[in-house]
Structure 1
Amino acid sequence: MLDSVITFFETIFLSLGRVIGRIAAAIAWPFLRIANWFRDRHWMVQAPVALAFLLLVGLYGYFIWQTQVWTNFNTSFVDVHKYSTREAPAGAALTAKADGSPQTCQPSAIAETAIELTDFNVNQNAWISSMILYKLGFFGVDWDHTPFLDNKANFQRGVNEAVRRATVELVDTLGRMRGTSGINNNLQSARSNMQYGEDKWYWSTSPFGPLTPTPSVYRAAIKDLTNFNKELSVCTTTFDARADNLREFLDRVASSLGSTSDILRERSENYGGGWFDTRADDRFWFAFGQLYGYNAILAGTRADFANVIKERNLGPLWDRLQGQFKSALKIQPAIISNGAEDGWIMPTHLATMGFYVLRVRSNIQEIRDVLDR
C-alpha cells in the first residue's frame, strides 16, 4: 500500500518536472538561437548589437527602479505647514505701507500644495506614464493590464487628478473676485498645462511629429502657480475666500470622489480573481493617489478659507475630515486583492478603499451642508 502511494507521487513529480523542463526549454530557445547567431558574427556586427543590448538593459534597469522606488512618499507631508493654525485667509493683507495700502498679502495654500504635489510627481520622482518603456508595454501588452510595474503610475495619476481639480477651481472661481473679474493669466496657464495628456513622450505617431513630454509641461504649471502666489503675496491679484466659493469647491471635490467610488464599486462587484485580478491594483492605487492629493489640497483649503472656517465653527468637522484621510492612507497592502467581501483567504481591498473614499466624501458633504445653512 505504501509503495503504491510513493509510486503515485513519484509519477506526479516526474510529470511535473517534465512539463516545467519543456516550458523552460521553450523560453530559453529564442535566447539560445540569438546567442548562437551573435557568436558567429563579425566583431563589427557584434559591437553595435552588444551596445544596443547594454543600452536596453540599462533602460529597463532604470525603468524598474523608478517604478519601485517612491522617493519622498509621505502621507503626512502637509502637516509641516500647520495650516490649521493659520488665521489670515488667502489674499488677506498682512502688512501695510505708510499710506495704509497693503504691502504684503497671504499667499494661497491651495496653490502651494498643488505645487508640492506636482513637484513630487515630476521632479522628485520620474513621471512613469510617459516613459518610453512604459508606453511600449510588456511585449506589447499595456502595463496597466499586467499585475506589476504599474502601481506608481496609477498613484501619480490619482495625485494629478486632485491637482487638476484645484487648478480648475482656482481659475473659475477662487482666483477671481465674485467670478466677474478678469482671469489671472498665470492660473489660466497652469490649468491649461495641467490638462496636458499624461502619457506624452518626445515623439508621437498620431499625430505624427515631435511633442513636448508631459513632465516638462507639468513643470511649467509649477512655475505658473508659483508666479500666481508671488502676485498674491504682493497684493497684485485676488483670492475670493467666500463661503459660497468654498461650498462650490467642496461640491466639486465630493463629485470627483464619488466617481472614484463608483469605479471601485464596479470593479469589486463585477470582477473577481482575488490576487489574480490584474486591474484591481490600478483602481486601488489611483484612488489612493487621489486621496493623497486631496488630503494636501483640502488642508491648504482650510488655510485659504480660515475666515470662513472660524465664522462657521468648522474646525472640529475639518479635523475629523483630516482624520478620515489619515485612516484611509494607512491602507498600503503589498498585493492588491479583489476577492469576495465575505472571503477569508483573499481579502477585498477595493471594497475597503471604497468604504474609506465614501467616508471622506460624507465628511466633505457634512461641511458643505453647514455652509449651506
Structure 2
Amino acid sequence: MFDPVIEFFERIFNALGRGIGVVISFLLWPFVALAGWYRRRGFLLKAIVGGILVVFVGLYGYFFWQTQVWSGFDPDYPAKREIMAVTPGAQQADGTCAPSAMVSVTSDLIDFNVNENAWISSMILYKAGLFGVDWDHTPFFDNKAAFQRGVNQAIRRTTVEFVDTLGRVRGTSQVDGDLQDARGAMQFDEYTWYLSWPFLPKTPTPSFYRSAIADLAAFNTRLENCSAIYDARTDNLVQFLDRIASDVGSTSAILRDRSENYNGGWFDTRADDRFWFSYGQLYGYYGILKATREDFRDVVAQRNLGQLWDDMDEQLSAALKIQPFIISNGNESGWIMPTHLATMGFYVLRFRSNLVEIRGILDR
C-alpha cells in the first residue's frame, strides 16, 4: 500500500543526492585538475609550486585566525576603568593637572583595534575577497572587519571634536598640534595595504592609527604637566552630543533601509556587516561617553543629568548584549527568521533619543 509513496520519496532523495554530488564535483574539479597537473611535474617545479601553496595556506590560516578571534573584546570594558576624580586640566594636590578620560579611552580603543587585534580591512586577503567577490558581500570573514570600522567611526568623530572644540578655548585659540596630528591620522583610508596600484609602496592603515595613539598620549602628558588646554564647557558638550546623534542617526537610516528592503532572513549576506558596524559604533561610543561624563563631571552635576546619563548607559549596555551567532534580516512580521537589524535599529534610536534628551536639557 505504501510502496509507491516510499519509492516516490526514494526517487526524490536520490535526485537530491545526485544534484549535491554534481555541485560538489563542480566545486572540487579545479583542485582535482591542479592536483593531477602537480603530480606530473618535475621535482623543481613541484618544490616551487609547493612552496607557494604553503605560503598561501599559512596566509589563509592567519587570516582565518585573525577574523575569528576577537582579542580583548569586552562589552563591559568601560566599567573596568579607574574613574578620574578631577576635571581635566584642573590642578591636583601634587601640583600636576588631571588628564582627560576621553583622550585615554579613545587611545585605548585605537590600541584595541590595531594592536590587540590585526586591522582586518587592510589585510591583503581581505582585499582580495572570495574569488574576487568582496568579503562584505559574502556571509564569511567580514564580521570583525565591520565591527572594527564601527569602532573606528566613533573614534574619528571624537578626534574631530578634540581638535575643533575641546583642545582649544572657545574655538578661537590655536589648534593643538598633537590633537591635530591624531585627527589627521584617524582620517586615513581604512583599506590601505603596503602596496597600492600600480604597486607603489605605501604606509599601511594600522601604522597611521598607531601614530594617533602616540599623539593622544603626548597630549595627555602635556595636560598632566599643565601645559595643554582642555575646555570642558557646556556648549562643547552640547556640540559633541549633537555630532554623535547625527552620526548614529545616519547608521539608523542604513539599518532601516536594509531591514525594510532586503528581507533575506539568514541568507542576506550584507546583514551581518550592517549589524556589526552598528554594534562596533555603539561599543566605541559606550566607552567614550562614559569618559565624557567624567571629563564633564561639573556640567553633569550642575544640570542634574546623572539619572538620564545612567539610562543612556543602560541602553548601550543592553544593545551590546545582543551577540547572535548568525545575523538574520527577516521580515518584522515573520515568525521563523528573526530580524536582528530591526532590533539593533531600535537600540540605536533609543540611544539617539537619550542623546537628544540630554542635549535639550543642556541647551535650556
TM-score (ref. length: structure 1): 0.96
Task: State the 1:82 CA deviation.
Answer: 4.6
Q: 1:167 aligns with which of 150, 155, 159?
A: 159
Aligned to 2:92: 94
Q: Secondary structure at the match of 1:93?
A: coil
2:202 is the counterpart of 1:204 = no
Distance 1:267 1:130 in 2: 25
2:298 is the counterpart of 1:303 = no
Aligned to 2:32: 32
Task: State the 1:289 CA deviation.
Answer: 0.1
Aligned to 2:186: 194
Q: How does 1:59-70 map to 2 (within 5 A)?
A: 59-70=59-70
What are the superposed Cα offsets for residues 102-151 of structure 1, whole Å, 9 maximum, x if unpaired? Answer: x3111111110111101000000010000000000000000000011100
Distance 1:127 1:88 in 2: 34
Name the aligned partner's letter for residue 154 of structure 2. Answer: A
Structure 1 residue ranges without an equivalent (≥5): 97-102
Q: 1:249 aligns with which of 217, 229, 240?
A: 240
CA contact (8 A) 1:202 1:213 kept: yes
Distance 1:342 1:23 in 2: 34
Aligned to 2:333: 342
What are the superposed Cα offsets for residues 153-200 of structure 1, whole Å, 9 maximum, x if unpaired? Answer: 000000000000110000000000111111110000000000000000
Aligned to 1:7: 7
Q: How does 1:198-347 map to 2 (within 5 A)?
A: 198-205=190-197, 208-347=199-338
TM-score (ref. length: structure 2): 0.98
Name the aligned partner's letter for residue 9 of structure 1. Answer: F
Q: How does 1:45-56 map to 2 (within 5 A)?
A: 45-56=45-56
Name the aligned partner's letter for residue 167 of structure 1. Answer: T
Aligned to 1:99: none
Structure 1 runs (4+) deviating above 2 angstroms are none
2:108 is the counterpart of 1:116 = yes
Name the aligned partner's letter for residue 95 of structure 1. Answer: A
Structure 2 residue ranges without an equivalent (≥5): none
Moved more, 73-82 or 255-264: 73-82
Aligned to 2:17: 17
Distance 1:21 1:352 in 2: 39
CA contact (8 A) 1:325 1:360 kept: yes
Paired residues, what number?
Answer: 364
Task: State the 1:28 CA deviation.
Answer: 2.3
Q: 1:148 aligns with which of 114, 126, 140?
A: 140
Task: State the 1:27 CA deviation.
Answer: 2.1
2:355 is the counterpart of 1:357 = no
Task: State the 1:57 CA deviation.
Answer: 0.6
CA contact (8 A) 1:164 1:191 kept: yes
Instruction: Give me the CA root mean square deviation.
Output: 1.1
Distance 1:17 1:352 in 2: 38
Distance 1:13 1:358 in 2: 48
Moved more, 12-21 or 351-360: 12-21
Distance 1:271 1:36 in 2: 43
What are the superposed Cα offsets for residues 213-263 of structure 1, whole Å, 9 maximum, x if unpaired? Answer: 111110000000000000001100100010011111110011101010011
Distance 2:300 2:30 in 1: 66
CA contact (8 A) 1:254 1:361 kept: yes
Name the aligned partner's letter for residue 36 of structure 2. Answer: N
Distance 2:353 2:6 in 1: 61
Task: State the 1:319 CA deviation.
Answer: 1.1
Distance 2:138 2:93 in 1: 56
Task: State the 1:87 CA deviation.
Answer: 4.1
Identical residues among aligned pairs (%): 61
Distance 2:263 2:24 in 1: 30
CA contact (8 A) 1:280 1:350 kept: yes
Distance 2:212 2:331 in 1: 42
